[in-house]
Amino acid sequence: MSEARAVITGLGIVAPNGIGAPTFWGNTRKGLNGIRKIDRFDVSKYATQVAGVVEGFEATDYIDKRLMVQTDNWTWMALAGAKLAMEDAAFDAASHEPDRMSVVTASSSGGNEFGQREIQSLWAKGPRFVGAYQSIAWFYAATTGQLSIKHGMKGACGVVVSEQAGGLDALALARRQIRRGEADAVLSGGTEAPVGPYAITCQEHNCLMAEGDDPDAAYRPFGTEAHGYVPGEGGAILLVEGLDQARARGAEQVYAEIIGHAATQDGNSHTAPAADGHYYGRALQLALDDAGIGPDDVDVVFADGFGTPESDAAEVAALQAVFGSRASSVPVTAPKSMVGRLYAGGSSLDVATAALAITDGYIPPTINVGSPAFDLDLVTEGRAQPMDTVLVGARGIGGFNSAMVLRRVTE
């Protein structure tokens, strides 16, 4: 019996440089920077003063006020993303068997702002001032739970946490359910909302973020002036379906098939990725093995692009281990240079971006690189180029490595 094929049929994007796939893609093609000076609180005490900030997001456009007060803005963005993804796919959840649909999201830091507000109330005023919704809004499972309830998706629902690698790992679980015939449709991916006073405080202490207040000079992956990453908010929720089921219901479009995935651990770090890139390279190679293809079949690499000199060098070493001499000629891009690192939302957004790139035949650029530090074909100006197969890499702080292979679906 052949396994079902897992394909991406809907994209729900809430990103610093655009909400909704058409707007996001138009801006991403152009290299529009979504990193801005943080203005929602006083950042003068912080070394990092910029972030990828979603502008113009009105949660009430997507969800009712009653649900809004029960949820953190991380979940708002996921609820919006799910709505956009299902609209994009013309998928009507209400007309599908609840047991054949599920939700698997990634999260890395949960409901930061909601949690800060309630802890503030507790310590400033006392336990009786903690609201009834803290118990369901802050924890990492809140988004999956709300999506499952809102859309009546009752299959095997899950939540994966592996820092920035989480989005790929969640999508891999979605693919597993589709391949094994356990579900016909899975909402997957993730969002993150780490741009508040306390969340940024926590992130500053990892000592891996770029200092400064210039949005165009902060996050410079693979450049000689790389000096750290910039955090951001948002992400992507994707609708993953079985190919046969998608065709049977007359799906609008099939962006790409998920044909491979693998994850590894450095096993030696609670902070930055391992300097040798060895186990990251192994994840990339195992993902290609899982897909049953070789490195020569890869048309474009969507890099992790951590943005510190050591971690960028480690990624180049990983690419060289996998691609050999072709490492300097396979096109590599890191469109997250336009939005920052969105943690669980970041690798989810990378998969959505890669799906759009395959569909459009266009490689989005890596911006603000300045002078390149490595011998790569780093795409710094958007490039029209047909492609069939894309390798997406992701690393999470704490030694997580993950990789996913996407391929254009042909008859």
Partner 1 sequence: MRRTVVTGVGVVAPGGVTRDSFWATITAGKTATRRITLFDPSEFRSQIAAEADFDPIAAGLTVQDVRRMDRYIQFAAAAASEAMGESGLDLENIDHERMAVSMGSAVGGTTALEDEYVVVSNHGEEWEVDPEYAMPFVYQALVPSSLASELSMRFQTHGPAAVISTGCTSGIDGIGFGHQLIQDGRADIVISGAADSPISPISMACFDAIKATSARNDDPAHASRPFDRDRDGFVMGEGSAVLILEELEHAQARGADIYCEVLGYASRGNGYHMTGLRPDGLEMSESIVDAMNQGKVNPEDIGYINAHGSGTKQNDRHETAAFKRALGDVAYNIPISSIKSMIGHSLGAIGSLEMAACALTIRHGVVPPTANWENPDPECDLDYTPNTAREAKVNVALSVGSGFGGFQSAMVFGRVKEATK
| Pick 133 or 360: Cβ nearer partner 1 | 133
AA letter at 10: G
| Pick 159 or 406: Cβ nearer partner 1 | 159
Task: Evaluate the CA torsion angle 140, 142, 148, 151 in order and state its sign.
Answer: negative
SS3 category, 17:
coil
Question: What is the nearest approach in angstroms of partner 1 to the Cβ of residue 325?
Answer: 25
**DSSP one-letter string for 76-98:** HHHHHHHHHHHHHTT--GGGS-G
Question: What is the nearest approach in angstroms of partner 1 to the Cβ of residue 384?
Answer: 36
Nearest one of 260, 267, 262 to 292, comparing CA atoms: 260
| Pick 46 or 222: Cβ nearer partner 1 | 46
| Pick 177 or 380: Cβ nearer partner 1 | 177
Bridge partners, 210 (sequence order)? none
| Pick 102 or 337: Cβ nearer partner 1 | 102
What's the CA gap between 261 and 226, in Å, rounded? 29
Nearest one of 5, 18, 27 to 406, comparing CA atoms: 5
What's the CA gap between 182 and 122, in Å, rounded? 43
Question: What is the nearest approach in angstroms of partner 1 to the Cβ of residue 356?
Answer: 27
Quote the radius of gyration of the chain (alpha carbons, Å).
20
Contacts of 154 (CB under 8 A, 6+ apart): 98, 99, 101, 102, 148
Question: What is the nearest approach in angstroms of partner 1 to the Cβ of residue 223?
Answer: 24
Question: What is the nearest approach in angstroms of partner 1 to the Cβ of residue 89?
Answer: 19
Question: What is the nearest approach in angstroms of partner 1 to the Cβ of residue 66?
Answer: 12
Provide the greatest CA pair distance for the chain.
Answer: 64
Question: What is the nearest approach in angstroms of partner 1 to the Cβ of residue 380?
Answer: 30
| Pick 177 or 359: Cβ nearer partner 1 | 177
SS3 category, 328:
helix
What's the residue count for the chain? 411
| Pick 128 or 410: Cβ nearer partner 1 | 128
